[in-house]
Amino acid sequence: MQAEYHNTKAPHLIIIGGGFAGLELAKKLKGKAIKVTLLDKNNYHTFQPLLYQVASGGLGSDAIAYPLRKTISTLPNVAFRMAEVLKIIPEQNKVLTSIGEYTYDYLCIASGSTTNFFGNTELEKNCMTLKSIPEALDIRSCILQEFEKALSQSETKNVDRILNFIVVGGGPTGVETAGALAEMKSTVLPADYTELDSKKMHVHLVEASPKLLASMSEESSEAANKFLNKLGVKVWLNTSVQTYNGTEMKLSTGDVLQTETVIWAAGVKGKNIDGIPNEKMGRSNRYKVNAYNQVEGFENIFAMGDVALLSGDKNYPNGHPMVAPVAIQQARLIAKNLFSLISKQPLIPFAYVDKGSMATVGRHKAVLESGKIKTQGYIAWLGWMFLHLMLLVGYRNRLVVFTNWMWNYFTYQRAIRIITRPFIKASSN
């Protein structure tokens, strides 16, 4: 029973989005003199860093999703409503949602990001994306369906095209996805599809810049490239995708690849909501915010996480990286600054503490950097697993993920090789 939420006359804060930033802010405000409504279009929190494992059959979706109500029910001054926010009306302190309108004293936008195709509608129509659980399940179905389809082909050229998988974007998501696909080639194909020649499956990773994992050191980038090569992934650096029509991809090198499956991990942009004037939007569709995460021109509206573009930090002239630690640290500071704002005290400016970055390519193959520490291979892989387990929300999820990882490790298998909801490609419509 959330007595305090309904009884309190405290100021009302609406948080849009129960991702890393929104959920952290709600938790930090537990029991404080503020009434909080958390709105999210889903009733669960998604642990996006492990989406690629759902897409490649290593984990089930419930292992990386956590019911928002489970957390919110422990916060007496916070209520959750499953609702999509359709519009913000700042001049009336109001948001319009799929279940009605809500008024606020303070608003915090934490709606995250979405895939960026940089205006290329052909790519948007034909490529798969990996930003949500439904999208990860689509990719899993699509890969398994392609394996099934390859079995019924009489012409070699069709089999080659069907078993050609392309990942675009050499950031952590692209690297991890390409590595996972390559592991499927050596585990799932020989085990389940004994009639198929697994050598016919090829994985390509296409990256426009000269290096993989652009935000990491040269050493880590080269190690990731070496690991991918070892797994048989063909890495294309300095190469951009020109066109892809659903079966044929043209690259800037002049090469043409035949493929039916392209996973686009080459860009993200802020998932902004209608209502805040366009001039408040900065690079990559993110809300321009000041050093305290207040949206330019609005004292009572904050934006945080992927959707916020904080200017003025000389270390991040183009905004902070769209990663979970930035979202969490901004939420923690807003939880403090909100009360300073209410009591008209000075606010503390945001300063990002970068604790490092990492990416995994496959079994015993990862890269990890933290301060002066740079490590690659087995130790980095253990570190990556440990940190991801600790960051997952909920003990059950940690246990499920750990058990799945152990199963996959000792059996050399991917546990979830099922097509629960068939995927229909846009190009086949």
The CA-based dihedral angle spanning residues 220, 221, 227, 228, taken in that order and rounded to the nearest 10 degrees = 160
Question: Rounded CA gap, 47 and 31, in Å?
Answer: 26
CB of 14 to ligand FAD, least distance (A): 10
Whether the CB-CB separation of 143 and 181 falls below 8 Å is answered with yes
* Closest separation in Å from C-beta 323 to ligand FAD: 3
- In eight-state DSSP terms, residue 294 is B
How far are the Cα atoms of 2, 201, 284, 332, 366 from residue 193, in angstroms, in the given order?
A: 53, 12, 42, 49, 28
3-state secondary structure of 13: strand
Residues in the site for ligand FAD, rule: CB under 6 A?
16-22, 39-42, 48-49, 51-52, 84-85, 110-112, 130-131, 172-173, 271, 273, 305-307, 322-325, 327
Name the minimum Å distance from CB 248 to ligand FAD: 26
- Segment (H or E) for 182: helix 172-186
Using alpha carbons, select from 327, 320, 286 the residue that is nearest to residue 305: 327
> Please, what is the minimum distance in Å from the beta carbon of residue 179 to ligand FAD?
13
Q: What's the closest the beta carbon of residue 321 comes to ligand FAD, in angstroms?
A: 8
**Site of tokens 């809300």:** 287
Coil, strand, or helix at residue 107? Answer: strand
Among candidate residues 227, 224, 220, the one with its CA nearest the CA of residue 356: 220
Element (H, E) at 7: helix 3-7
Nearer to ligand FAD, 327 or 361 (CB): 327
Nearer to ligand FAD, 112 or 251 (CB): 112
Q: Which is nearer to ligand FAD, 180 or 257 (CB)?
A: 180
Residue 400: in which H helix or E strand, if any?
A: helix 395-411
Of residues 67 and 258, the one with the C-beta less far from ligand FAD = 67
Taking the least distance from each CB to ligand FAD, the nearer of 163 and 175 is 175
Beta strands in 158-265 (DSSP E): 164-168, 202-206, 233-236, 241-244, 248-251, 256-258, 261-264
Residue with tokens 């991702």: 19
Q: For ligand FAD, which is the closer residue by CB, 142 or 189?
A: 142
Of 169, 122, 166, nearest to 260 by C-alpha is 166
CB-nearest residue to ligand FAD: 19
Q: Which is closer to ligand FAD, CB of 21 or CB of 159?
A: 21
Pairing of strands 78-82, 35-40: parallel
In order of 52, 144, 307, 309, the CA distances from 116 in angstroms are 18, 26, 13, 16
Tell me the CA distances in angstroms from 186 to 140, 189, 235, one per residue in order.
16, 6, 18
Helix (H) and strand (E) counts for the chain?
A: 13, 26
* Shortest Cβ 192–ligand FAD spacing (Å): 25
CB of residue 303 to ligand FAD, shortest distance in Å: 9
Active site annotation includes 296: no
Catalytic residue among 4, 124, 146, 176: 176
Q: How far is the CB of 68 from ligand FAD (least distance, A)?
A: 8
User: Closer CB to ligand FAD, residue 104 or residue 159?
Assistant: 104
Catalytic residues, which ones?
176
